[in-house]
């Protein structure tokens, strides 16, 4: 994520503004999802029925257009100040993983837990996903030891509010270093480790003009139809060295 290039007003936009933006635009949204085949333009993850729209040209309601399909995890990072303040992100140390690859892993880790009844759980896969989540915890403590905080709200506050007042070149250097090494893990993907908590409580998506909890049923439908298992295995293998490091 290009922390330095992100306009502060866009970074802080949240649910209210998006509700205004998509009001009465149902047909355009459906066209956008159909055209993009429900695939996130940022991380490439496809989850039919559970995508959001990105406003790539402008978030000004008077300037419609530029809609592209985006997943919730990638959309969170278009508006990181809002997401951080809502507790949706954890900062982790992962210089060799792109944010997009990490978001894909997070989706697959989330889906690997299957439905609550345990009907669609592949236990080997669920173990792999748990390992990934545990690795993100270790990486979170690395960030904390380097930055003095692992709270993304603190980082963004420094970037977007205090920083511009100082405008020092040290700030630019620090931000470049952080941008190169720190990634953001979606908290919603941690549900696999906290099976006691209601998973729907930590996960929501856009539907019309409101946030709606994702249905357990929909997750299990996805699980049945898409080749999530193969994909997560492949990703786990590809990133094993990274995860172990
Ligand atoms: Zn995405
Ligand atoms: Zn947006």
**pLDDT higher than threshold 80 for residue 83:** yes
| pLDDT tens, position by position, 7-40 | 888 888 888 888 888 888 888 889 999 999 999 9
Task: Give the pLDDT score at 40.
Answer: 93
Which ligand has an atom closest to residue 39 CA? Answer: 1
CA of 160 to the centre of ligand 2 (A): 17
Task: Give the pLDDT score at 210.
Answer: 33
Which ligand has an atom closest to residue 106 CA? Answer: 1
CA of 167 to the centre of ligand 1 (A): 32
Which ligand has an atom closest to residue 10 CA? Answer: 2
**pLDDT higher than threshold 60 for residue 179:** yes
**pLDDT higher than threshold 60 for residue 190:** yes
**Which carries the bigger pLDDT value, residue 44 or residue 165?**
44
Separation CA 113–CA 110 (nearest Å): 6
Average predicted confidence (pLDDT) for the chain: 75
Task: Give the pLDDT score at 237.
Answer: 60
Percent above pLDDT 90 for the chain: 18
Name the nearest CA neighbour of 64 among 27, 25, 34, 31: 25
Torsion angle defined by CA atoms of residues 94, 203, 192 and 112, in that order, rounded to the nearest 10 degrees: -90
CA of 199 to the centre of ligand 2 (A): 24
Which ligand has an atom closest to residue 107 CA? Answer: 1
CA of 155 to the centre of ligand 1 (A): 22
Any alpha helices (H) in the chain, and if so which ranges? 8-11, 15-22, 26-35, 72-78, 80-85, 99-112, 123-147, 152-157, 163-166, 169-181, 216-225, 228-238, 240-244
**Domain spans, the chain:** 8-244
**pLDDT higher than threshold 90 for residue 77:** yes
CA of 42 to the centre of ligand 1 (A): 5
Which ligand has an atom closest to residue 57 CA? Answer: 2
Query: Which residues have their alpha-adjacent CB atom under 5 A from ion ligand 1?
Result: 40, 42-43, 45, 71, 74, 103
| pLDDT tens, position by position, 88-129 | 899 998 888 889 989 988 888 887 766 555 555 677 777 777
| pLDDT tens, position by position, 200-235 | 444 444 433 333 344 444 455 555 555 555 665 665
């Amino acid at each position: 994520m290009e922390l330095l290039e992100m306009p502060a007003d866009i970074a802080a936009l949240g649910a209210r503004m998006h509700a205004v933006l998509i009001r009465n635009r149902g047909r355009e949204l459906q066209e956008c999802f159909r055209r993009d085949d429900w695939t996130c333009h940022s991380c490439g993850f496809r989850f039919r029925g559970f995508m959001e729209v990105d406003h790539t040209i402008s978030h000004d309601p008077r300037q419609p257009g530029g809609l592209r399909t985006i997943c919730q995890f990638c959309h969170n990072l278009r508006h990181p100040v809002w997401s951080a303040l809502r507790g949706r992100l954890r900062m982790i140390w992962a210089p060799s993983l792109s944010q997009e690859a990490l978001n894909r892993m997070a989706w697959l880790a989330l889906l690997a837990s299957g439905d609550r009844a345990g009907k669609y759980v592949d236990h080997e896969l669920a173990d792999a996903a748990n390992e990934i989540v545990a690795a993100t915890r270790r990486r979170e403590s690395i960030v904390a030891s380097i930055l003095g905080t692992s709270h993304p709200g603190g980082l963004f506050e420094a970037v977007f509010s205090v920083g511009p007042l100082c405008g020092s070149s040290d700030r630019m250097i620090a931000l470049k270093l952080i941008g190169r090494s720190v990634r953001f893990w979606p908290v919603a993907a941690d549900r696999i480790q906290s099976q006691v908590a209601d998973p729907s409580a930590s996960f929501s998506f856009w539907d019309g003009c409101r946030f709606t909890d994702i249905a357990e049923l929909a997750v299990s439908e996805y699980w049945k139809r898409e080749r999530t298992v193969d994909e997560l295995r492949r990703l786990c293998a590809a990133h094993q060295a990274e995860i172990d490091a």
